[in-house]
Chain A
């Protein structure tokens, strides 16, 4: 009883703090938390937006895994995208930030722009369509024909063998985002005295320096950037739809998100789409939590 009273007193004392947070959190709960809960609830129903939803138990989930071959392909593709582009982009973000960290400020700023620009430049990824265009006007086809390696142009985005590799390249190209900036900033705040102390303690080269000094002092940024890269790598959709179409040839490049858009916005099976959204939510949060646990061990 006593404990409850003091807690209530503290809440009353912090009234002004709560008032400051209220507008943000009302909107946050309405448009971020409530939708997740709604998706979970609707995933157990049959709902087409016209009639009231009816409870169907696990049917949507069993249908997804047992009857929907496309979903299984999309799930596979999503996992391939995530497993390849997630760690690789995380690695690239760090390595580039690390290399340019020693450069003079002006050059560092320019290199930051070179690597960060793709992630903020909107539709520029459309240029990959120009590079890999299916006719002779495409740069890659033109190049290969000139070399005499192929006789007729390859239709890259209509050939199931090429769709995934090209999309992975495009995704990697545009994946140096906020996580990359966090690394650049983090590297500049690493205490310089540590390097010197390390030299005294017998650190011989830059690789040892990286492993024993830089990485452990960058742990907070590693955790943050991992979240950013993982979340992005599971949400790949726009580049697929715009470059390879919806659906892609033989569903070779479809992801959970494009599949979600297909059944939600085109077929209006909201219950079914909610089940897909719930699975995606669990995949993203589960992977993030797991990777966080691993990364916390860096330097220990």
Chain B
């Protein structure tokens, strides 16, 4: 009923249709209350389900050891303490490679890996988004194809290639492949397409080189996409343990050391809870502060025919 009434009203007053206020009301009137309740109940149940492990992570990080081993198991911390973090700190100090070294490795890998990816991916994205030249479609299509399989497929041959290049067991073995991640280049190209052509044309008439246009015109206009590429790459590199590519202990990143503590079992349950909390807190905090920019970038992420 409601929908019909609004429909009629809108039909009778076509001039008012353009007012955003009316548009909003039309939308709301066409929704039933029972539907709304059902959808929100669904959302609520799943919201609890997704946040349970995260709430538990936070609580366990501050639980004293005796609370971690209670029956029945406890979900919320009763006597919060920071002793798990100090335990972790002591374990890390006693480790063979100093804690600061793992930390430095993580900074080098995520820092350079993210920066290089941002620069190279957006340098390649600009001509693909804004210029026409032979093989353009094929060059982009192959990046889209790369989105369709995951890096686990290329893990073993990559090991052979990296060994052949002689960069195995160096930072480069992890950093160089990260530069060429397809997802960042794809998102950047899609986002750059909405830059007005006139902006680029006028710079070109002034005699600017393509590199100059990329650097001075295009890049300042795609700042939301920078942040998106940075957070996606940061997450991936922050979580990497280096695996077979970084064999020397003094090259391993923080996540590797953290995993070692986490594998310590019952004896290190407290430190383990602190580790999981730290590894979670960094990317989540990063996302909280950059969310609106990332959503802005994602608005152009769609695949066109």
Contacts and interface: CB of A to CB of B under 8 A. Distances in A.
The contact size tier of chain B is 35 or more
B134 A14 contact: yes
Nearest to A92: B46
A219 interface: yes
A104 interface: no
A59 interface: no
B203 interface: no
Nearest to A137: B73
A176 interface: yes
B182 A32 contact: yes
B54 A221 contact: no
A255 B42 CA distance: 31
B43 A124 contact: no
A143 B75 CA distance: 12
Interface of B: 3-4, 6-7, 10-11, 17, 20, 22-24, 26-27, 30-32, 35, 39-40, 42-43, 46-47, 49-54, 56-57, 60, 69-73, 75, 120-121, 123-124, 126-128, 131, 133-134, 139, 142-143, 145-150, 152-158, 160-161, 165, 176-177, 179-180, 182-183, 185, 209-211, 214, 232, 235, 238-239, 244, 255, 258-259, 262, 275-276, 279-280, 283-284, 287-288, 291-292, 294-299, 301-305
Interface of A: 7, 10-11, 13-14, 16-21, 23-25, 27-28, 30-36, 38-39, 42, 92, 95-96, 99-100, 109, 111-118, 120-128, 130-131, 136-139, 142-143, 145-146, 173, 176, 178, 181-182, 184-186, 188-189, 192-193, 195-196, 199-207, 209, 218-221, 223-224, 227-228, 230-232, 234-235, 237, 257, 260-261, 264-265, 270, 273-274, 277, 280-281, 284-285, 288-289, 292, 296
Given A31-B161, A235-B150, 12 more contacts: A30-B165, A32-B182, A118-B54, A120-B284, A121-B280, A178-B301, A185-B298, A186-B299, A192-B23, A196-B23, A277-B153, A277-B155
